[in-house]
C-alpha cells in the first residue's frame, strides 16, 4: 500500500456512529414463528379481524415458498425460528398519547441519531414518525398535518382509526404472495408509516420515518403504505440505523405506494443500517420490497435512494406505470465497503400509453465489497410510445472490490424507445495525487471525486438530506483504499 | 529557495537519480534537459511527493524546510506546484470546482479567508483569458475530453490561480503544436516574477525560444552532467546528448 493510500485509510477511518445500544425495558416475544405467534401479535395490536386473516393467509403461503437464492450474493442461511418477531419498549399504561409521554430514554436515542422528536427542536419543516424495533414510538406534527387533511401516522394506528383505508389499499401493490420476504412481512409486520394525501392537497411539509433496530435477535418487519389521491403531492423520506452487533439481523420491509391521476410521490431513502465490521462480521440483512403503482393518468413517482449500510442489501424499488402518461424515476447511489454486498436496482413496468421512465444508478464499491445493479425495463403490448432511459455507472475504489451490471430489457411494443448506457471507472492513485498536488487532502479528494460521481442523484434529494447524504458517503468510505 | 543536495532515488531496487545537486534562487528559471530515462520526471515526482520513490541519500530543502518530510498536499500548500506531464481526468468534478477547492485549501493553510463563489468566478475569468481558453472549460469535468494542448493550458491556468512560489513544469511543451506552445509559453512568462522560481523540464530547445531560462542543466544517467546558460541548450541541439556523456535514447 502506498503512503497516500495509507493516509486515506487513516484519515477516513471513522466508526459507525449509530452503533450504540439503548437500554430499555422491553417486551419481546420468544424466538419462533407459527400461527399462534401471529395471532398473539395481532391481538397485542388490537387489530381488526381482516388483518389476522390477511396475516394467516400470507403465512400459510410463505410456508410453501422457497427462500430465493441469488447468483451474485453470499448469504449465510437464515434460521427463521431463531428470530423474535416482536420487540417493543414496555408501554406505560395505554402508551404515549403525546411526545411528553414518550420514554425520555427513547427521545435521547433519537436525539443522538440527529433526529430530534421534540417539535421545538424540529428539523425545519419535516414531520417525523419514529419506529423503534417493532413499534412506532412517536409521530411529530400530527396536528398541523391533520389541518391540511393529511393522514400521517403509524400503520398500527391507521388500522384503528382508518381501517377502511388500510383495507382498501394494503397488499394491492405488493401482494402477500409476491415473494418470499414480502410474504413473511405480510404475516408478521409490526409497524411502519401510513400516509394518505387527499385529493388536490400538496402536503405542507416533508414527511419522514426513521427506523431504528435496537433489540438483539430481532427482525424488523415494517410496512409502509402511502396513497396520493388525485392531484396531490407528497415528498417522503426514510432513514435507518441499527446498533453494532456480531449477529446478522433481518430487516424485511414492504413499501407500497399508490398514485392516482395527476398525483406525485417523491420517495427518498437514506439507508445506513449497520454494515458489519471490517471483517464482515455482523450487519443487517436488508431484504426489502418496494413498489409504486401509478394507477392514474399522468401520475408520477420518483424513488431516490442512498444506500450506504447493511451487510447485504437486496432491493429493487419498482414502478408499475399503469396509467397513461405516467412517469417513473429511479435515482440510486449504492456504496459498499469492506465485505458489504449490494444487489439493487429497479423495475420499470410500462403498461399504459406514453409512459416514461428514467433510471440513474451509481454504484460505488470499495474494500472487498461487491456491488450489483440489477434492473428490469419491461414494455407491455399496449404501452405505445413508452420511453426509458437508463444510465448505470460504477466506480471502483481499490482493486479488491467488484461491480456488476445486469440490465434486463423486455419489450413487446414496437414503438417503444429504450436506451441503456453504462460505464465503469476507478479512483486511481494518479487522481488522488493530482488533487493532493493542488493542496487538497486525500480525504477531501476521495470525497470530492465520489460526490462528483453521485451529483446527478444527490440533486434529487430534499435539500436537508442532500448534505447528510454527502457526509454519510465520506464516513462510509472508511479504510476504502489499500 | 530550493536546495537539492546529493539526491539519490530508487524505484524498487533500481537507482534512478544518483546524486543530483541543484540550487534555485527566487525568481530564477532553471531548465533541465536530458535524454529519455535520465530521471527528469523522477525528479519532478520526488519534489512533489508522489508515492513509489525511495530516497536513499541526500536532502532537499525548500524555503529552509525539509521538503521530503512533507506530505504532498502540504508541499502544494507551501507553494510547490507541479504542472503534470499527463494531467489526469476526473469525471464528475467540474474544473471550476476543483480549482476553487484547491485555492481555498491553500488560502486556509495561509490563514486567509476562503474566497466565495462570485469572487472566484471573477478571478478565474480574468486568468482564463490569459490562456485563451473558452469559459466552457470551467464547467467541464477536470480534463475530461480535453485535447493534449487544452490539458496543458489547464495546468498553467491552475498555476495562475494558485500563485505558487515554485513551479515545476514537467514536459509542459510535449504534445503541443506551435500555436499552443506559444500560448502556454505566454502563460508561463506572465507568471514570472522576481520571487517566483521555475524548474522547467523539457526534451527540446524549442520551448526555450519562448521561455528564456537563466540556467540550463543536462541530466543524464541520474546526474547533472553539465550546467550553463541558455547557449548550452543550443549547443545540445546541435551536438546531441552524447556530447555531454548521455546515452542516446
Can you give the CATH number for the domain in which B39 is found?
3.40.50.300
- Average predicted confidence (pLDDT) for chain A: 83
Query: CA of B61 to nearest chain A CA: how many angstroms apart?
Result: 18
Compare CB distances from A430 to B73, B88, B106 and report the shortest one's residue: B88
Domain assignment of residue B141, given as a range: 2-244
Report if residue B249 sits inside a domain.
no
DSSP for A402-466, please give it: EEEEEEEEEE--TT-EEEEEEEEEEE-HHHHHHHHHTT--HHHHHHHHHHHHHHHHHTTS-HHHH
User: Which residues in chain B have Cβ-Cβ distances shorter than 8 Å to A425?
Assistant: 91
Question: Could you tell me which of A278, A308, A281, A265 has the C-alpha nearest to residue A470?
Answer: A308
Q: pTM of the prediction?
A: 0.78
Instruction: Please count the structural domains in chain B.
Output: 1
Question: Could you tell me which of A152, A217, A184, A155 has the C-alpha nearest to residue A289?
Answer: A184
Q: Which residues of A touch B (CB under 8 A)?
A: 2-5, 7, 425, 428-431, 433-442, 444, 448-449, 451-455
Interface confidence (ipTM) of the complex: 0.95
Mutate to test the interface with A, among B45, B50, B140 (most CBs of A within 10 A): B50
User: Which residues in chain A have Cβ-Cβ distances shorter than 8 Å to B72?
Assistant: 4, 433, 436-437
Subunit contact B101:A2, Cβ cutoff 8 A? no
Mutate to test the interface with A, among B44, B71, B73 (most CBs of A within 10 A): B73
What confidence tier does A456 reach under pLDDT thresholds 50, 70, 90? confident
Give, to the nearest 10 degrees, the angle between helix A442-458 and helix A3-11.
60
**Residue in chain B lying closest to A447 (CA):** B93
Question: A245-278: per-residue pLDDT in tens?
Answer: 666 778 889 999 999 999 999 998 887 777 777 7
Tens-of-pLDDT digits for all 249 residues of chain B?
999 999 999 999 999 999 999 999 999 999 999 888 889 999 999 999 999 999 999 999 999 999 999 999 999 999 999 999 999 999 889 999 999 999 999 999 999 999 988 899 999 999 998 888 899 999 999 999 998 889 999 999 999 999 999 999 999 988 888 888 999 999 999 999 999 999 999 988 888 999 999 999 999 989 999 999 988 888 888 888 777 765 544
Reading phi first (left if > 0) and then psi (alpha if -120 to 50, else beta), residue A165 is in alpha
Is the minimum CB–CB distance between B145 and chain A shorter than 8 Å? no
Q: Has residue A75 got a pLDDT over 80?
A: no
Report if residue B38 sits inside a domain.
yes
User: Which residues in chain A have Cβ-Cβ distances shorter than 8 Å to B55?
Assistant: none
Subunit contact B90:A453, Cβ cutoff 8 A? no
Is the minimum CB–CB distance between B11 and chain A shorter than 8 Å? no
**Residue in chain A lying closest to B168 (CA):** A437
Cα maximum dimension of chain B: 54
Q: Has residue A310 got a pLDDT over 60?
A: yes
Phi, psi of B15 (to 5 degrees): -80, 125
- Buried b / exposed e across A183-203, counting CB within 10 Å, b at 16+? bbbbbbbbbbbbbbbbeebeb
User: Which residues in chain B have Cβ-Cβ distances shorter than 8 Å to A442?
Assistant: 73
Instruction: Name, in order, each residue with C-beta under 8 angstroms of A467's C-beta and a sequence gap of 6 or more.
Output: none
| Spatial contact of A431 and B94, defined as CB atoms under 8 Å apart | no
Amino acid at each position: 500500500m502506498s503512503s497516500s493510500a495509507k493516509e486515506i485509510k487513516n484519515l477516513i477511518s471513522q466508526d459507525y456512529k449509530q452503533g450504540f445500544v439503548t437500554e430499555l425495558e422491553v417486551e419481546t416475544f420468544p424466538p419462533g414463528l407459527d400461527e399462534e405467534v401471529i395471532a398473539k401479535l395481532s391481538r397485542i395490536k388490537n387489530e381488526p379481524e381482516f388483518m389476522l386473516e390477511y396475516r394467516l393467509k400470507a403465512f400459510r403461503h410463505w410456508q410453501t415458498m422457497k427462500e430465493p437464492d441469488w447468483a451474485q450474493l453470499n448469504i449465510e442461511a437464515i434460521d427463521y425460528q431463531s428470530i423474535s418477531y416482536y420487540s417493543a419498549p414496555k408501554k406505560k399504561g395505554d402508551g404515549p398519547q403525546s411526545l411528553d409521554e414518550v420514554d425520555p430514554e427513547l427521545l435521547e436515542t433519537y436525539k443522538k441519531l440527529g433526529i430530534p422528536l421534540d417539535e421545538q427542536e424540529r428539523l425545519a419543516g419535516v414531520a417525523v414518525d419514529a419506529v423503534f424495533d417493532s413499534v412506532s414510538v412517536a409521530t411529530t406534527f400530527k396536528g398541523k398535518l391533520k389541518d391540511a387533511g393529511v393522514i400521517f401516522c403509524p400503520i398500527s394506528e391507521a388500522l384503528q382509526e382508518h381501517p377502511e383505508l388500510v383495507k382498501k389499499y394494503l397488499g394491492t401493490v405488493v401482494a402477500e404472495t409476491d415473494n418470499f420476504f414480502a410474504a413473511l412481512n405480510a404475516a408478521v409486520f409490526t409497524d411502519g408509516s401510513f400516509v394518505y394525501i387527499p385529493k388536490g392537497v400538496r402536503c405542507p411539509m416533508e414527511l419522514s420515518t426513521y427506523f431504528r433496530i435496537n433489540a438483539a435477535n430481532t427482525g424488523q418487519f415494517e410496512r409502509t403504505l402511502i396513497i396520493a389521491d388525485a392531484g396531490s403531492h407528497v415528498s417522503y423520506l426514510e432513514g435507518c440505523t441499527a446498533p453494532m452487533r456480531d449477529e446478522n439481523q433481518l430487516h424485511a420491509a414492504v413499501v407500497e405506494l399508490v398514485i392516482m391521476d395527476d398525483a406525485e410521490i417523491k420517495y427518498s431513502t437514506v439507508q445506513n443500517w449497520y454494515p458489519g465490521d471490517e471483517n464482515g462480521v455482523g450487519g443487517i440483512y436488508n431484504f426489502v420490497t418496494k413498489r409504486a403503482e401509478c394507477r392514474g393518468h399522468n401520475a408520477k413517482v420518483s424513488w431516490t435512494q442512498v444506500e450506504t449500510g447493511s451487510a447485504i442489501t437486496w432491493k429493487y424499488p419498482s414502478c408499475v406505470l399503469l396509467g397513461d402518461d405516467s412517469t417513473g424515476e429511479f435515482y440510486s447511489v449504492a456504496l459498499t465497503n469492506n465485505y458489504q454486498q449490494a444487489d439493487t436496482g429497479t423495475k420499470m413496468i410500462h403498461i399504459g400509453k406514453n409512459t416514461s421512465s428514467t433510471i440513474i444508478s451509481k454504484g460505488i464499491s470499495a474494500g472487498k465489497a461487491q456491488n450489483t445493479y440489477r434492473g428490469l425495463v419491461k414494455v407491455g403490448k399496449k404501452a405505445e410510445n413508452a420511453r426509458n432511459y437508463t444510465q448505470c455507472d460504477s466506480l471502483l475504489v481499490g482493486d479488491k472490490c467488484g461491480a456488476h451490471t445486469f440490465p434486463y430489457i423486455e419489450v413487446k411494443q414496437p414503438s417503444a424507445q429504450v436506451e441503456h448506457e453504462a460505464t465503469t471507472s476507478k479512483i486511481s492513485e494518479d487522481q488522488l495525487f493530482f488533487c493532493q498536488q493542488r493542496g487538497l487532502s486525500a480525504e477531501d479528494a476521495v470525497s470530492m471525486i465520489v460526490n462528483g460521481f453521485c451529483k446527478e442523484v444527490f440533486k434529487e434529494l430534499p435539500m436537508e438530506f442532500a448534505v447528510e447524504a454527502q457526509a454519510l458517503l465520506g464516513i462510509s468510505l472508511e479504510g476504502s483504499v489499500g | 529557495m530550493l536546495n537539492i543536495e546529493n539526491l539519490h532515488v530508487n524505484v524498487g531496487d533500481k537507482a534512478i537519480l544518483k546524486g543530483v545537486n541543484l540550487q534555485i534562487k527566487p525568481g530564477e528559471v532553471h531548465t533541465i534537459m536530458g535524454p529519455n530515462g535520465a530521471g527528469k520526471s523522477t525528479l519532478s515526482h520526488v519534489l512533489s511527493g508522489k508515492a513509489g520513490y525511495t530516497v536513499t541519500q541526500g536532502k532537499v530543502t525548500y524555503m529552509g524546510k525539509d521538503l521530503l518530510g512533507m506530505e504532498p498536499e502540504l508541499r502544494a500548500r507551501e507553494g510547490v506546484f507541479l504542472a503534470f506531464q499527463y494531467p489526469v481526468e476526473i469525471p464528475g468534478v467540474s474544473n471550476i470546482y476543483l480549482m476553487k477547492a484547491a485555492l481555498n485549501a491553500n488560502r486556509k493553510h495561509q490563514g486567509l479567508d476562503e474566497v466565495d463563489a462570485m469572487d472566484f468566478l471573477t478571478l478565474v475569468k480574468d486568468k482564463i483569458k490569459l490562456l485563451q481558453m473558452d469559459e466552457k472549460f470551467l464547467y467541464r469535468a477536470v480534463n475530461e475530453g480535453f485535447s493534449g494542448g487544452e490539458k496543458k493550458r489547464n495546468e498553467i491556468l491552475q498555476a495562475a490561480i494558485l500563485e505558487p512560489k515554485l513551479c515545476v513544469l514537467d514536459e509542459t511543451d510535449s504534445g503541443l503544436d506551435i500555436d499552443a506552445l506559444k500560448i502556454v509559453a505566454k502563460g508561463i512568462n506572465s507568471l514570472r516574477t522576481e520571487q517566483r522560481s521555475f524548474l522547467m523540464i523539457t526534451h527540446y530547445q524549442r520551448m526555450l525560444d519562448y521561455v528564456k531560462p537563466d540556467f540550463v542543466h543536462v541530466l543524464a544517467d541520474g546526474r547533472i552532467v553539465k550546467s550553463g546558460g541558455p547557449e548550452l541548450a543550443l549547443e545540445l541541439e546541435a551536438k546531441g546528448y552524447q556530447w555531454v556523456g548521455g546515452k542516446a535514447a
